[in-house]
Structure 1
Amino acid sequence: MDYLKYLEEPELRKPTWVGAFIGWLDAQEGASRSIRYLVKQLKAKRFVEIDPEEFYDFTAVRPSAYNDDQGQRVIRWPTNELFYWFNPETETDFIFFLGTEPSLKWRTYIEMMMSVIDRYGVETVVTLGSLADAVPHTRDSLISGNANKDEIKDRLGGLRLMGGGYQGPVGITSVFTDACTKRGLDCLSLWGHAPHYVQRRPNDKVVKALVSRLNQMLGLTVPLEEVEERARTFETEVTKAISSSVEVSAYVKRLERQFDSAIEQGGELPNPEAVVDDLEAFLRQERSEGDQFSAN
């Protein structure tokens, strides 16, 4: 069965792939909303979608219901979509991917993705992720990165690098990057760090930081005014939400001092999956002690 549905077959010029997965490493929707923002601002056109039937356990990743503009009830299934954008400034076009981390048949899913990459001659792949971290909401969102080849790390523009050597559970992004590396592709990753004590989402400060970095790294000129306004609103609302808690306010002040000191010192950051493992262990301990707090 062919799970890929081509709605259009554009002639693309050495496209760069920029993508994100909804799921494990999309804290506060930072990565997925970044792709949505790019698609909206650039008016990128959808040209491929993936049939979800074979790749999801719908009791775990459930479809949702909503009413459309005509008031008709519609079922929305987990989506995987690709969009293209003709770049008027250079001879390199773009493919934007937004998918939902699959529950099943990861290897089949990845091979299907690679067939699109092979078909359009993609040479550079950029993946986006966001992770919950011990960072304050009152600072510009930290962006870190990594590359699969030493010779392309300078394209990250001086970003702090994620460390290697992690051993443990991984998300679909790592499996996808591994497949791209085995194809000899250049792979770059950008990671937005979101404050772990904030439960509300989405976090548009992370979106602003990721899109701004993509502009610099890929020579894009995506307007930022809309997301900048939403980022200011996010910070204001979170500050207001935590202001009634002396404990949380003091905790944020401590994070601010740690954050400022860490930025000055620089150095390598832990692998994103290691950060998630550590954070989950921390939250389990907090829950067991009855001292967990959050800003809603």
Structure 2
Amino acid sequence: MVAFEGWNDAGEAATGAVSTLKDLLGVTQIAEVDPELYFDYQFNRPTISTNDEGGRSIEWPDAVMYGPIAPGVEPVPLAEDAELAVSGTNAGNIYLLLGTEPSRSWKSFTAEILDSALAADISGVVFLGAMLADVPHTRPISIFVSSDNPEVRKELHIERSNYEGPIGILSVLAEAAEKVGIPTLSIWASVPHYVHNAPSPKAVLALIDKLEEIIDVVIPRGDLVSDAAEWERGIDALAADDDEMAAYIAQLEQARDTVDSPEASGEAIAQEFEQYLRKRGDGRDGRDGWADGRPGPEGPPRA
């Protein structure tokens, strides 16, 4: 499972889903890139924090790969933690790549990541992403699943993206993985653009729901269900005090109900996905959005 902060991570949904898995799985760090090689610190600044003992430390942008402590063996949790552990036949085979999208040297970065993947004998990659889109927060989060691998598409009855235009690091990794014989799959969630500044637990939950279905594991939801409901109620409260925002959301709801139906069609989500990418072709990071009660520009990538 792969997710990166930045262009591909609206509402922190993709990294939120992978971070959830990291907390639930018995994984250990198996590889880490040198941040000096791949990050521009003026663009991805390091952060400083204070721990419980009062110590100060700097955290640098990075990309870290995690693997199972005992590959191929399903973790056996303590009885009291049994409800908060990933289970299923694939639970001991999940590797994770989590980090910040690199600022430079994407070809070298990709080669380094693929070397680690081949060394770990990884047999498939799932890329997770999230995009800002014209969707209402009150409806189910739209999920778009695609693959460039014909066998994966046939097995899962999914589509191939027809998008042409600027891309993120996920697309570069996906192409390189396919070239070395590792099949790939992309799962994207659509996040309402008018709440782009806040993390979206509802989108994290939607990605985890789809992941559970595809990789055949059982993933505990923990507090995600209640957090998603609270997120939705919080936006409802904001809209209740802003007539213009409420009217805009009502338009989105009507469009979703009319065109999409409760379960959005693959074609509709694909169009939404491609529309997003074309609008992001200006190189902005997707942070523009709702301001002063008006809808702003929309602002979206895989394990």
Fold in common (TM above 0.5) = yes
- Which TM class, normalised by the smaller chain length? 0.7 to 0.9
Letter in 2 for 1:248: M
Which residue in 2 is equivalent to 1:15?
A: none
Q: How far apart in 1 are the matches of 2:39 and 2:169?
A: 13
Q: Percent identity?
A: 29
The answer for unaligned runs of 5 or more in structure 2 is 75-87, 297-303
Please state how far the C-alpha of 1:117 moved relative to its aligned partner.
1.3
* Structure 1: 4+ residue segments shifted above 3 A: 271-274, 290-294
SS in 1 for 2:35: coil
TM-score w.r.t. the length of structure 1 is 0.83
Please state how far the C-alpha of 1:261 moved relative to its aligned partner.
2.5
1:82 pairs with 2:58? no
Q: 1:132–1:279: 8 Å Cα contact kept in structure 2?
A: no
Q: How far apart in 1 are the matches of 2:31 and 2:250?
A: 46
Please state how far the C-alpha of 1:109 moved relative to its aligned partner.
0.3
**Which has the higher mean CA deviation after the structures are superposed, 59-68 or 271-280?**
271-280
Please give the per-residue CA displacement for 1:5-34, whole angstroms capped at 9, x wherever unaligned.
xxxxxxxxxxxxx11111111001010111
**1:201-240 residue pairs with structure 2 within 5 A?**
201-240=198-237
Which residue in 2 is equivalent to 1:163?
A: 161
1:70 and 1:190, CA in 2 relative to 1: closer, same or farther beyond 3 A? same
Letter in 2 for 1:225: G
Q: 1:163–1:271: 8 Å Cα contact kept in structure 2?
A: no
Please give the per-residue CA displacement for 1:28-65, whole angstroms capped at 9, x wherever unaligned.
10101110011112243223222201111111111111
SS in 2 for 1:54: helix
Q: How far apart in 1 are the matches of 2:213 and 2:7?
A: 27
Q: How far apart in 1 are the matches of 2:223 and 2:32?
A: 27
Please state how far the C-alpha of 1:225 moved relative to its aligned partner.
3.4
Letter in 2 for 1:191: W
Which residue in 2 is equivalent to 1:179?
A: 176
1:82 and 1:215, CA in 2 relative to 1: closer, same or farther beyond 3 A? same
Please give the per-residue CA displacement for 1:182-239, whole angstroms capped at 9, x wherever unaligned.
1122111000100011133110000001011111111111101321111111111111
SS in 2 for 1:258: helix
Which of residues 256, 261, 275 is equivalent to 1:259? Answer: 256
Please give the per-residue CA displacement for 1:225-262, whole angstroms capped at 9, x wherever unaligned.
32111111111111111211111111111111211223
Q: How far apart in 1 are the matches of 2:35 and 2:100?
A: 9
Q: 2:132–2:193: 8 Å Cα contact kept in structure 1?
A: yes
CA RMSD of aligned residues (A): 2.6
In terms of fraction of residues, the more strand-rich structure is 1
TM-score w.r.t. the length of structure 2 is 0.82
The answer for unaligned runs of 5 or more in structure 1 is 1-17
Q: 2:31–2:116: 8 Å Cα contact kept in structure 1?
A: no
Please state how far the C-alpha of 1:267 moved relative to its aligned partner.
4.5
Q: 2:67–2:94: 8 Å Cα contact kept in structure 1?
A: yes
SS in 1 for 2:8: coil
1:98 pairs with 2:81? no
Number of residue pairs matched by the alignment = 271
Please state how far the C-alpha of 1:291 moved relative to its aligned partner.
7.7
Higher relative contact order (CA closer than 8 Å, sequence separation 6+): 2
**1:1-296 residue pairs with structure 2 within 5 A?**
18-85=1-68, 86=71, 87-88=73-74, 89-90=88-89, 93-156=93-156, 161=159, 163-164=161-162, 166-264=163-261, 266-268=265-267, 269-270=270-271, 272=273, 274-278=275-279, 292-293=294-295
Please give the per-residue CA displacement for 1:258-294, whole angstroms capped at 9, x wherever unaligned.
112232372421374641433688x99x99xx98347
Q: How far apart in 1 are the matches of 2:244 and 2:97?
A: 41
Q: 1:19–1:126: 8 Å Cα contact kept in structure 2?
A: yes
